[in-house]
Structure 1
Amino acid sequence: MLIRNKLILRFTLLVLAIQLSFSAFVYYFHAASREQRFTNRLTGKAALSGRMLIKRGSLSKGFFGAFRRRDLLTLVGEQVSIYGPGGRLLYLSSDTISQAQNMLYLSRITPEKPVHFATGRRETVGLLYEHEGRAYRIFTSGIDEFGWAQLEKLRLILLVGNVGALVLIILAGWYFADESLKPISRVVRQVEKITASSLSQRVDEGNQRDEIAQLAITFNQMLAGLEQAFESQKSFLAHASHQLRTPLANLLGTLETSLDYDATLADTRQSLRSGIEEVRHLVELTNGLLALAKADSGLLPTEPVRLDECVAQALDYARAKCPDRDLRLEFGPLPTTDADVFMVPGNAQLLTTAIFNLLDNACKYSQASVTVSLGYADAQTLEVRVTDTGIGIAPHEIRRVFEPLYRAANGTAQPGYGLGLALTQKIVQLHGGQITLVSVLNQGSTVGVWLPAVAE
Structure 2
Amino acid sequence: MNIKKKITIGFGLLVATILLLFSLFIFEGYESYRRSLMRMRLQKRALAAQAYFHNRNEFQQSSYLFLPEQEELIYDADFKLLYSSLTKGGYIPSKELLKEALHDEVYFTYSSGTWEYPKEGVARSFSYRQQKYVAVVMAYDLTGRQTSRNLFAILIGGNLLALAVIVAVGFFFSHRAMAPFDQLIAQINTATVNDFSFRLVYKSSSSDEAAYLADSFNQLLARLQKLARSHEHFIGYASHEIRTPLTVVKGMLETSLAYDSTLETTRESIEKALYRLEGAIELANSLLQLTEVEGLNSNQLLEDINLVDTVFDTVGYFQEKYPLQKINLQFTDTFTESSSAVKVIGNTILLRTALINIIDNACKYSDFRPVQVEVRYQPKWVVIDVIDDGIGIPSEQLSQVFLPMMRAGNVGTVKGAGLGLTLAEKIVGIHQGYLQIHSIAEKGTTVSIGLPALLLDSK
Please give the TM-score of this superposition, normalised by the length of structure 1: 0.85
Shift of 1:110: 6.4
2:112 aligned with 1:117? no
Q: Is the 8 A contact 1:382 1:453 kept in 2?
A: yes
Range 319-328 or range 243-252, more displaced? 243-252
Give the secondary structure class of the aligned counterpart of 1:195.
coil
- Superposed, 1:391-410 pairs within 5 Å as 391-410=391-410
Aligned to 1:323: 323
Q: Is the 8 A contact 1:384 1:450 kept in 2?
A: yes
Q: Is the 8 A contact 1:335 1:341 kept in 2?
A: no
Please give the TM-score of this superposition, normalised by the length of structure 2: 0.84
- Superposed, 1:356-367 pairs within 5 Å as 356-366=356-366
Distance 1:130 1:376, change over 3 A: farther
Amino acid at match of 1:32: S
CA deviation map 1:369-403 (0-9, x unaligned): 32222344345x43322122333323332221111
Give the secondary structure class of the aligned counterpart of 2:70.
strand
Range 413-422 or range 134-143, more displaced? 134-143
- Superposed, 1:287-298 pairs within 5 Å as 287-298=285-296
CA deviation map 1:2-37 (0-9, x unaligned): 444433433332222222212222221122221122
- Percent identity over the alignment is 32
CA RMSD of aligned residues (A): 3.2
Give the secondary structure class of the aligned counterpart of 2:29.
helix
2:59 aligned with 1:64? yes
Aligned to 1:189: 186
Aligned to 1:310: 310
Aligned to 1:127: 124
Distance 1:338 1:288, change over 3 A: closer
Amino acid at match of 2:33: S
Range 334-343 or range 393-402, more displaced? 334-343
- Superposed, 1:230-269 pairs within 5 Å as 230-255=228-253
What is the distance in 2 between the residues matched to 1:240 and 1:338?
41
Q: Is the 8 A contact 1:311 1:352 kept in 2?
A: yes
Match of 1:104 among 83, 93, 96: 96
Distance 1:192 1:428, change over 3 A: same
Shift of 1:102: 6.0
Aligned to 1:45: 45
Range 97-106 or range 312-321, more displaced? 97-106
What is the distance in 1 between the residues matched to 2:385 and 2:370?
14
Aligned to 2:373: 372
Amino acid at match of 2:186: R
Match of 1:90 among 82, 87, 98: 82
CA deviation map 1:324-361 (0-9, x unaligned): 33212222334878969655331x33222210111111
Q: Is the 8 A contact 2:343 2:455 kept in 1?
A: no
Amino acid at match of 1:404: P
What is the distance in 2 between the residues matched to 1:279 and 1:252?
10
Amino acid at match of 1:118: T
Give the secondary structure class of the aligned counterpart of 1:109.
helix
What is the distance in 2 between the residues matched to 1:386 and 1:342?
21
Amino acid at match of 2:378: A
2:161 aligned with 1:157? no
Aligned to 1:424: 424
Shift of 1:313: 2.1
Aligned to 1:81: 73
Range 174-183 or range 215-224, more displaced? 174-183
Aligned to 1:437: 437
Range 74-83 or range 92-101, more displaced? 92-101
CA deviation map 1:180-212 (0-9, x unaligned): 433333222222222333111122345473333
Give the secondary structure class of the aligned counterpart of 2:214.
helix
**Any gaps of 5 or more consecutive residues in structure 1?**
none
2:21 aligned with 1:21? yes
Give the secondary structure class of the aligned counterpart of 2:69.
strand
Range 302-311 or range 256-265, more displaced? 256-265
CA deviation map 1:69-113 (0-9, x unaligned): xxx3321111222334554443333475857326433233368x5
Distance 1:335 1:75, change over 3 A: farther
Distance 1:37 1:285, change over 3 A: same
- Superposed, 1:209-248 pairs within 5 Å as 209-248=207-246
2:273 aligned with 1:275? yes
